[in-house]
Structure 1
């Protein structure tokens, strides 16, 4: 059933707004600060809360009309407000009142002593209070510690308030909590006030690419709220979306259905996004992968998703930005395939990649060669890797061989590889030692490679 265009736009817009607020943040994430008014941020978040809180919780805003501006990353500020709202919701299982307050605060050398770790100066104080169950002193002392939680493991990771603390601190602010059993909780965070005018410049957009589509997408995300929002937003744009909460579930889902692309978080428990993609590529060589993450390079780099040729979308993003990136991933021409030459007269296939080539490129290029209408398994293949760095390791070499072995496509019987660096030579020799379905030789000159190929014919 097709939804009307207005319904699609409305759902996409709502999901886009929700996504911007619900994306998970790390305390080590890079900041993108801008000057904004906190009242605007609170008002924006308040519009999203009915869906998040339910009907039993009343939201009250008490915003000072003269409150000053602050310099902060707007997405991270929204994340702070959302996390505090979720914490309040969980503290009021039978309903209650959630109150947001903003006010200007100036601390002098005397009053600053009442606030540990703060300096004298002009601040904006934002208070989020609830009428929930409250906390005892022991809980209060640990409330900002990572992985500390009083909730069931199915309901919380213990990172929500730790993330709040990290964002506020990294933004040059300070946060305090006042609570007692049966009296609710009040969180107040202070951010430095600035005299600069609010930055209302519209975001700069790149070239437009289609957002509406009909592709079948698997979204792998361990955050339940975000997973639901991404599914709703992409479905509103016409896509067919299936979700999985971790790598194990994603592997099972892929055995039951076919997908055009997998959109996966990078940092997940048990199996990270790169490991999932490698396993899926062995089973389904043509399946595309788009990674998404809100972590900085020092966190995701060791997981192998920063290599050239891999597609990564940085959080925070909107559903429309995600849809455009999916379109680019599905329709981009791969570097390797652009360097493909097939000479049917000489029965020779030549592949000349450039610069750095990642595992995903190699698998996609090999698939495109084997499916090319001019391809014949009796042809010889020459791969010129001179001046090229392979974004591979021994595990990827093994996975590449497994992908070719399990494919329904017949690989060529002989492959000559030109290399000019010790590292790439070692990787190709490893491939040669392990592969059994064709003869492979390594050469340093094109003349020697052609001579060997000619003798094999």
Structure 2
């Protein structure tokens, strides 16, 4: 992804730039899928962050179109601008897509054409409500009361597992929200999710311009990464952002540099590395030697439970991250030391 970001800044044809942008989006989607799989397998906790609701709804519209046949229409209600929620964006996307597909099946079960309605609105100052409604066959009161129970399904012989709504309910509960189901037999069903609202202007996204990126002021970053290609790419990105860079291929090599008196302003290190000394071990040594030194840990497993109580002491970057997220994290760490 870093390679594509850097290549996009070079002169090239519009077609080449378009292909690079598509590849970049594919990498970002792959990260989201991996996050969801790891979270579902309980090998990695949910990635909680602030996400813009309008972007999530646009993604759902794109993702669900191929699964909807001609007799099922999808309609997005106008939502209030700049709504943001705090949750795992991948799990939110998965939950809404699950609800859309459930609504599709309800319409098909009614044996007629129908419409799925997807919308969002603010509820007071603290909540955002996202709704997925259909005009399908609806539910009886008994089915509605049991709809979120694990393994309860009315479509046992048609691919139903009874886990879809249970997982949606679990997600909103873990996110500090709630789920309500409203249904009338013969008239359809609406599922409403409420999630914590975040005030302010939506943050940077994967497609933001480099013109908005915060740059360095010549500070030196000690970069520790055991993968040679990624080390080289990250060094190039940091230099482009205005930083001096000193590199080390292992935590041991980085500590040797520090012991020898290497000057640096911030430590940016991968967490899991070979050789018996991890990035977290290195960070702990640096913190013991110089508590005010900014440290950023980066890893595909940066939020892994094995990091224990030490985790909150250091800033984290979860791979892959955009150059904007990297640049912003660097500035925050350097300016608040």
TM-score by length of 1: 0.38
Query: Which structure features the higher share of helix residues?
Result: 2
The structure having more radius of gyration, on CA atoms, is: 1
TM-score, normalised via structure 2 length: 0.50
